[in-house]
Structures are given as C-alpha cells and as structure tokens.
Amino acid sequence: MVSTLRQVAERAGVSVSVASRSLNGHAKAYRISEATVLRVKAAADQLGFRPSHTARSLRLKKTGLVGVVVPDLANAFFASISRTIALAAEAEGYSVIVADSREQTEHEVRLLHQLEARQVEAFVVCPVGSEDAHLRQIDGRGTPVVLADRTFPDCGLLQVTSQHRRGARQATELLTAKGHRLIGVLQGLPGTLPNDQRLCGHAEALAKVGISMDHSLVAGDNFTEASGYVSAKRLLAERPDLTALFAFSTPNAMGALRAAAEAGRSVPEDLSLVTFDDCPYADLMRVPLSTVCQDVERIGQLAAELALRAVTGSARKKTQCRHDVETRVIVRDSISSVRN
C-alpha cells in the first residue's frame, strides 16, 4: 500500500500500462525496450513497490486463495493435513486460509460461506457431521470442494480418504490372529464413509474366522476422545468378557486407555487394543499402540493437488472422484494373545 503502480510509472516517466507490463515480464511480448524495463524496475524498488494483490484479484477474478476447513486444528491429524496443503498451495503461488469448525456443522457452514465470500478458488474440507448438502451446494455454485478424510458415500464431490475397509480388516486381523473373538468397537461418527467402511472391514475380518459381527459390541458416536472414553467405559462394564477393543481414531483410543485404566484393565495384559491412525510419539507411550495408520501427508498432498487442479484444470472429470490412500500396519505391543 506504500506505493502504487501509478507512482512507479510516474517516477519512471512511463504510463501505467508500460509499468505493469515491465514488472510482469510481458516486456518482450509488448516489445518494450530494455532500457525502459530497467528504468521501471529501478523506480519500483526505489519506492519499495508491492503490487496490490487485492486489486489484481479484483481485476483478474482470481484470488489465489484456497480455503481449508477442519474440525479441530489442534488435532495432530488435521494440523498435519493443513500443513501439507499449505505447503503444496504455496508452491503454486496460492495461500491458504484455515478455518476451524470446532466439530460443529453450524460453524462449518458459516465458515464456508464466509470463505466463499472471500472468493477462495477452492476448498479442501474435512467435514463434520454426516450431511453434505451444503458442500455440494457450494461446489455447484462454482467453487470446487474437495473432501478429505471424512467423506460421504455417494457424494459427487472430489474426495481423498484412506482405504478404510482394507485397513480395518487388517486391524481386526491383528486381533483375530492372536485369538481374539470378542472384540468391542469404538466407532466414530456413524454415517460417514470412513466409519462405515471400517465397520465393513471389521466385519469381513471377523467373517474370515467364522464369526459374524455383533452390533451390540459397537459403541461410540464420534471420533473424539470423549466418545472413546464413554463407549469404552460402557462396553467394558456391560461386556466384561471382551478381550479386545478396536478404536476408530487416536482420540477414541486415548479415551479407551483412560476408561480401561479406570476399569482396572491393563493394556495389553487384560485387554488388547488396536487403533486406526497414528499419533506423534506413539512409540513413547506407556502402551505403544498397534495401529493401522493413515498416510496423512499423502492425503493432504492429494487433496491439495485435486483442489488446485480443479481450479486451473479444464473440465471436471467425474471419473474417479474418490481417492483411497493406502494405509500401513504398524505392530507395536498393545495386543496380547488370548489365553485359552
């Protein structure tokens, strides 16, 4: 704001158009003389000229902004995703506006609209809740929306998530291989694709050892620590015969750990635990959890690419709108064999 293009032009003794072109590297395209270009550039940095991104955005109808909306920026998973997106965006000259929806749809909607008014060119959102109408609406209105992590079944939007079913199957297999047959599930938000796919995977793994899933062994209503704690507490009380728990998120698992401690069950001796997704310093925990961890970097990277591509790219190819990133099994020592 310190100085405008016009001032630069005046100082260099040229018109604003020449100044603009010189500074934007359109010099040769407009056959502007070398000398002039130099003169303009000199004037520009004498004045400490910083082109107004705002004015440019208005003129070009391109803000160079990407909106990222996550449920909780303090959660390592979302912080990491945001970071990756920020780095990827930056590499393409974009900036990222982050917004924290505090796990509430109401906020999510408000923030989305706010950012829409700021004319972000694309959204990456890790949605809360199990409704996607508002997201589809925004996308339909012209700002591409890519969903990351928490996606929805049958939703036309671009989506990046993990191989939940396969991952969950592997997780449960870790348990069944050690003889566990009575496994409690601490689920996340029902109705979301990650949750429901993990449920499928779990059922598949159980089927392999000839048992069918008992829905009374599934508890929980969100990916939060509170949900994990409450449901583990309940499950452990109602079904003391459970030998293992499968937590659908790190916070769920942490809640379970606390509930287990309170119930006097030590992990892994009296209770095995496996979780979906990892957390920093997991190996330094009292109970290093065996887990099926998501490739957060890759998810963020891919989401950023899709978002940026949707902006610059031509037609939206509906082919493969969902990307399932590979998960990785990490065996630590939260699982013990069932004693017969």
Binding site for a copy of itself (CB under 8 A): 1-2, 48, 50-55, 57-58, 61, 63, 65, 72-74, 76, 79-80, 82-83, 86-87, 90, 95-100, 102, 111, 113-119, 141-142, 254, 257-258, 279-281, 284-288
- Which of 31, 141, 286, 339 is close enough to bind DNA by CB under 7 A? 31
The least CB distance from residue 62 to DNA, in Å, is 9
Which range touches DNA (CB under 7 A), out of 6-14, 207-215, 285-293, 307-315? 6-14
The HSE-up count of residue 296 (CA atoms within 13 Å, CB side) is 17
The least CB distance from residue 98 to a copy of itself, in Å, is 5
Estimate the crossing angle of helix 34-46 against helix 5-12, to 10 degrees.
Answer: 120
Token pair belonging to 39: 């003169």
Query: Given the complex with a copy of itself, which of 100 and 132 has the nearer CB atom?
Result: 100
- Which of 16, 211, 287, 311 is close enough to bind DNA by CB under 7 A? 16
Cα separation of the two ends of the chain: 76
21 touches DNA by CB under 7 A: yes
26 touches DNA by CB under 7 A: yes
Residues between 57 and 86 that touch DNA (CB under 7 A):
58-61
15 touches DNA by CB under 7 A: yes
Which range touches DNA (CB under 7 A), out of 43-51, 76-84, 97-105, 162-170? 43-51
Residue 30 interacting entry, from DNA, a copy of itself, none, C-beta within 5 to 8 Å by type: DNA
Rounded CA separation 6/50 (Å):
12
Query: Given the complex with DNA, which of 143 and 290 has the nearer CB atom?
Result: 143
The least CB distance from residue 304 to a copy of itself, in Å, is 13
105 touches DNA by CB under 7 A: no
Rounded CA separation 196/206 (Å):
15
Residue 91 interacting entry, from DNA, a copy of itself, none, C-beta within 5 to 8 Å by type: none
The least CB distance from residue 115 to DNA, in Å, is 16
Query: Given the complex with DNA, which of 9 and 89 has the nearer CB atom?
Result: 9
DSSP assignments along 85-131, one per residue: HHHHHHHTT-EEEEEE-TT-HHHHHHHHHHHHHTT-SEEEE---SS-
190 touches DNA by CB under 7 A: no
Count Cβ atoms below 10 Å from residue 234 Cβ, excluding itself. Answer: 14
312 touches DNA by CB under 7 A: no
Rounded CA separation 190/15 (Å):
62
Per DSSP, the three-state class of 70 is: strand
Distances from the Cα of 27 to the Cαs of 6, 32, 37, 51, 52, in angstroms? 17, 5, 7, 17, 20
Question: Residue 146 is inside which H or E element, if any?
Answer: strand 145-148
Residue 142 interacting entry, from a copy of itself, DNA, none, C-beta within 5 to 8 Å by type: a copy of itself
Q: Which residues contact 19 (CB under 8 A, 6 or more apart)?
A: 5, 6, 8, 9, 12, 40, 43, 44
Residues between 279 and 308 that touch DNA (CB under 7 A):
none
266 touches DNA by CB under 7 A: no
